[in-house]
Amino acid sequence: MLYTLLHGLALLYTITSSAVFAQVAFPNSPYVPPRALDGAQPTNGRSHPNPQWSNLLGNLLYFYEAQRSGNLPPSNRVPWRNSSTTSDGQDVGLDLSGGYFDAGDYIKATFPLSAALMSICWGATDYGQGYDVTNQTAYLDDMLRWGLDWLMKAHSSENTLYVLVGNADLDDAYWGGDQNIPSFRPSYQINITHPGTDAAAGASAAFSACSILYSNKSFGGPFSSPASLQNSSYAEKLLTHAQQLYSFAVNATGGQQTYQSAVPAIAASYGSSSYTDELTLAALLLSWATNSTSLFQQAESYYHTFQLAGQNGVFNWDSKTPGLAVLFAQITRASSDIGGNLTVWQSEAERYFDNIVNMRGPAWMTKNGLLYYDGDSDFASLNPALNAAMLLTRYAQIASTPERKAAYLKFAQSQVDYALGNNPMHVPYIVGSHPNSPSNPHSAMASGGNDIANIDTSPPQEAHVLYGAVIGGPDKHDNYYDIRSDWPETEVALDYNAPVLTLAAMHAFNDSNDPFYTSLEVGAYDKVRPQGRPCDPVFPDACGQLSKGGKIAVGVAVGVVGLIVFGLVAWYIYLLWSVKSQKTTR
Ligand SMILES: *[C@@H]1O[C@H](CO)[C@@H](O)[C@H](O)[C@H]1NC(C)=O
Ligand SMILES: *[C@@H]1O[C@H](CO)[C@@H](O)[C@H](O)[C@H]1NC(C)=O
Ligand SMILES: *[C@@H]1O[C@H](CO)[C@@H](O)[C@H](O)[C@H]1NC(C)=O
Ligand SMILES: *[C@@H]1O[C@H](CO)[C@@H](O)[C@H](O)[C@H]1NC(C)=O
Ligand SMILES: *[C@@H]1O[C@H](CO)[C@@H](O)[C@H](O)[C@H]1NC(C)=O
Ligand SMILES: *[C@@H]1O[C@H](CO)[C@@H](O)[C@H](O)[C@H]1NC(C)=O
Ligand SMILES: *[C@@H]1O[C@H](CO)[C@@H](O)[C@H](O)[C@H]1NC(C)=O
Ligand SMILES: *[C@@H]1O[C@H](CO)[C@@H](O)[C@H](O)[C@H]1NC(C)=O
Ligand SMILES: *[C@@H]1O[C@H](CO)[C@@H](O)[C@H](O)[C@H]1NC(C)=O
């Protein structure tokens, strides 16, 4: 009875609020992540879209729903999340509630958020049909709007952008659920006298990339059409913010500088290495969003002035340079009148990619095949590799030779396979996708603990499954020990999921092969770190040998009896689970 009443109220609220937040309609039965055990079922390419890639795409989006800050809407699918931090911005007389918690803690950080939104919108423009065929477009729309609507609030006037809510130092001192988050959450801004060229340009780039997506502007074949969430008034709104932020980045009276110069509080967590890549990217995306030859030429001029050619660094939330040549090539190819030279951009992109696939450094390959950049990879090894895979997969479509196309796709696939379980630990590094997936992501919210001195053991088992979260990743020796406090390896973050969404959308759209983990046997995974010092990135060589039980059961020959016992146990767990899930969905 009470339930029915609540349900009726929720429905009423949905109807009234949907008038305000009109967007793509959710499917009649909401997508919820399946049991991890489902990820162990091969489908052998029987259907298109492949159900496992569909689930992975759905889970990757679901992760963002778990990271929501602010008042949660009735459509919230994550049962263990509560509304929180609803007074954000009050210290500066603004409503800065909403948006996303950045990672395993509770700060809201604009610069990496912008990078993630830019990356996801760019990917959903190229591989939009992947979202459509899996019925995930409504969730993509919802996910993007939750971020973009907040980013619009954070851009509170033409030349003001809030870049941080909460304080990393204070926030790191809190480990607990979403109901007791310390209420002292200062809001930090950049403005015309204290600018942050990278943060302003990065947010501009996100708005442009998403405006392009919402206006259904395609890069043409062989890319798919954009995800079907076209909305021209929303696209227009995003574009206005993109233009204002670009002007702010270019013309601030305080000059051009990295944003931690204005807001030192961000330096420790998300300080930026330079603003030249963001400024170039902002000009380039705005040129495509507005079909402007002069902005395109401005972007080319930045690229040369800032000497961005010839670099071999990582692509990530901080460094966008490797993506520029790819995007220049895509735009030049798609628009004969914008004024670019495709040959020039192809050769720059291919110089960079050839360097990676032929292992000419500075990135190198771990023993078991993970692309590794010393420095960046020490703090989240999967992210640089998966970003490279994302760029390679996209660029391969327009490579100048069939040999390059094949080499790029093959390399990209090797990185995706590694992340999805083709590694010596036999772990698919996405929470909840397979029984061997990490079960101790560094997430204060999901852990259920509130004893900061005993993060690993209190509680012994993570309280909530943070479905779809891509974690930091193994160390440079391919070792991974699923330890909650080991944040370089187990933390989750908005930007870690971004490239994987694009890759999953591509696979869902383009092929019916299973993701690698369906071929992994389910096995108990010993999470015990070997004796000795922790695998801290500052002391990478302190990492010991694989613990005896550190290898999971895949490598172990399982006898027939074992298989039968296992099957019975799995069946029993399934029964328990289905009874439980029927209870909770009623
Ligand atoms: C487009 O987005 C705007 C702004 O969010 C919304 O008011 C409008 O209803 C949307 N239109 C459609 C057709 O969904
Ligand atoms: C998408 O939704 C349609 C219509 O409800 C359904 O027939 C189809 O099976 C769904 N596809 C997936 C991959 O969920
Ligand atoms: C949300 O609230 C419920 C009920 O108070 C609580 O059990 C749960 O742990 C909360 N979720 C988080 C992430 O703290
Ligand atoms: C501009 O930003 C700086 C750095 O965040 C801040 O100290 C200053 O108060 C801001 N100026 C205004 C007028 O708000
Ligand atoms: C978006 O563009 C594609 C072509 O790229 C077209 O097939 C599709 O109908 C367009 N969608 C809308 C809503 O206009
Ligand atoms: C910067 O200011 C100059 C001089 O007012 C103006 O001509 C130019 O359009 C501005 N640039 C941007 C990107 O707004
Ligand atoms: C872009 O602008 C050029 C020249 O300004 C024009 O010829 C072309 O039709 C425009 N393209 C689009 C897609 O608007
Ligand atoms: C494009 O650049 C290449 C290499 O620099 C050059 O040979 C070619 O003439 C250029 N094409 C055009 C149309 O300018
Ligand atoms: C789809 O996969 C095939 C075979 O791997 C590849 O040749 C093609 O380029 C891919 N297409 C897209 C759009 O990714």
What pTM value is reported for the model? 0.89
Asked whether residue 187 is assigned to any structural domain, the reply reads no
DSSP-assigned letters across all residues of 95-161:
----SB--SSS--EEHHHHHHHHHHHHHHHHHSHHHHHHTT-HHHHHHHHHHHHHHHHHHS-BTTBE
The stretch 262-273 carries a mean pLDDT of 95
With 60 as the cut, is the pLDDT of residue 333 above it? yes
What's the rounded mean pLDDT across residues 266-281? 96
172 is a catalytic site residue: no
**Is 558 a member of any domain?**
yes
* CA–CA dist 67, 150 (Å, integer): 13
Counting atoms of ligand 4 from 1, which one is nearest the CA of 193? 1
Q: Which pLDDT score, from 0 to 100, does residue 529 have?
A: 52
Residue of 68, 72, 80 to test ligand 3 pocket, by largest number of atoms within 8 Å of CB: 80
Residue 176 clears pLDDT 80, i.e. is over it: yes
Nearest to 277, CA basis, from 243, 315, 247, 239: 315
Query: What CA–CA distance (Å, rounded) separates 215 from 286?
Result: 13
Q: Is the per-residue pLDDT at 122 higher than 50?
A: yes
Are the CB atoms for 447 and 457 separated by under 8 Å? no
CA 507 to chain centre: 17
Residue 384 domain-assigned (yes or no)? no
What DSSP character marks residue 517? G
Inter-CA distances, 9 with 12, 417, 512, Å:
5, 45, 42
Q: For ligand 3, say whether the CB of 445 is within 6 Å of any of its atoms.
A: yes
575: pLDDT strictly greater than 90:
no
pLDDT at 142 (0 to 100): 98
| Residue having the nearest C-alpha atom to atom 1 of ligand 1 | 231
Helix, strand, or coil here: 495? helix
The finding on whether 291 has its CB within 6 A of some atom of ligand 7 is: yes
Task: Name which of 40, 209, 31 is nearest 131 in CA terms.
Answer: 31
CA atoms of 325 and 335, how far apart (whole Å):
15
Closest atom of ligand 5 relative to the 225 alpha carbon: 5
Question: Is residue 316 within 6 Å of ligand 2 at its C-beta?
Answer: no
Q: How many domains does the chain have?
A: 1
pLDDT tens by residue, 159-172: 999 999 998 776 66
pLDDT for 325: 98
* 572 found inside a domain: yes
From the candidates 105, 491, 495, 514, give the one annotated as an active-site residue. Answer: 491
Q: How many whole angstroms separate alpha carbon 406 and alpha carbon 414?
A: 12
Tell me, yes or no, whether 573 lies in a domain. yes
Contact criterion met (CB below 8 Å) for 506 and 132: no
- pLDDT tens per residue, range 65-111: 999 999 999 999 999 999 999 999 999 999 999 999 999 999 999 99
Residue-wise pLDDT tens digits, 538-565: 434 333 322 222 222 222 233 333 444 4
pLDDT recorded at residue 525: 60
| Residue 222, preceding peptide bond in cis (omega within 30° of 0) | yes
Distance, C-alpha 378 to centroid of its chain: 18
> What is residue 171's predicted lDDT score, i.e. its pLDDT?
60
* Other C-beta atoms lying within 10 Å of the C-beta of residue 28: 5
Tokens of 215: 């206006």
Supply the residue whose CA is at minimum distance from atom 7 of ligand 7.
337
Share of the chain above pLDDT 70, in %: 85
CB of 225 closer than 6 A to ligand 5?
Answer: yes
334 Cβ inside 6 Å of ligand 5: no
Mutational pocket test of ligand 5: of 23, 216, 223, the residue with most ligand atoms within 8 Å of the beta carbon: 216
437 in a structural domain? no
Residue 290 Cα to ligand 7 midpoint, Å, equals 9
**84: which strand partners?**
70
What is the spatial distance between Cα 427 and Cα 489, in angstroms, rounded to a whole number? 13
Report which protein residue has its CA nearest ligand 4's atom 10: 191
Query: How many residues in the chain?
Result: 586
Confidence of residue 487 (pLDDT cuts 50, 70, 90): very high
pLDDT for 523 equals 82
Report d(CA 404, CA 407) in Å as an integer.
5
Structure tokens at 111: 């610069």
Burial class (CB in 10 A: 0-12, 13-18, 19+), 129: buried
Check residue 269 and report its DSSP letter: H
Q: Does the residue 575 lie in any domain?
A: yes
Give the pair of three-digit tokens for residue 162.
């809030």
Mean pLDDT of all residues belonging to the chain: 88
Is 486 among the residues known to form the active site?
Answer: no
Examine the pLDDT at 460 and tell me if it is beyond 50.
yes
Q: Which of 18, 148, 234, 241 to mutate to test the pocket of ligand 1 (most atoms within 8 A of CB)?
A: 234
- Whether the per-residue pLDDT at 22 is higher than 90: the answer is no
Q: Residue 7: which pLDDT band, with cuts at 50, 70 and 90?
A: very low
Domain that holds residue 561: 552-579
Domain-located, residue 253: no
Give yes or no for residue 54 CB within 6 A of ligand 2: yes
Cα angle 369, 513, 551; round to 5:
40
Average pLDDT over residues 336-350: 95
| pLDDT (0 to 100) of residue 50 | 96
What is the C-alpha separation between 226 and 121, in angstroms, rounded? 9
Measured from the Cα of 337, ligand 7's closest atom is 3
Residues 208-229: tens digit of each pLDDT: 999 999 999 999 999 999 999 9
Q: Is the pLDDT of residue 411 over 60?
A: yes
What tokens does 248 get?
A: 């702010």
Structure tokens at 516: 């690698």
Pairwise CA distance, residues 291 & 276, whole Å: 22
Q: How many CB atoms lie within 10 A of CB 80?
A: 14
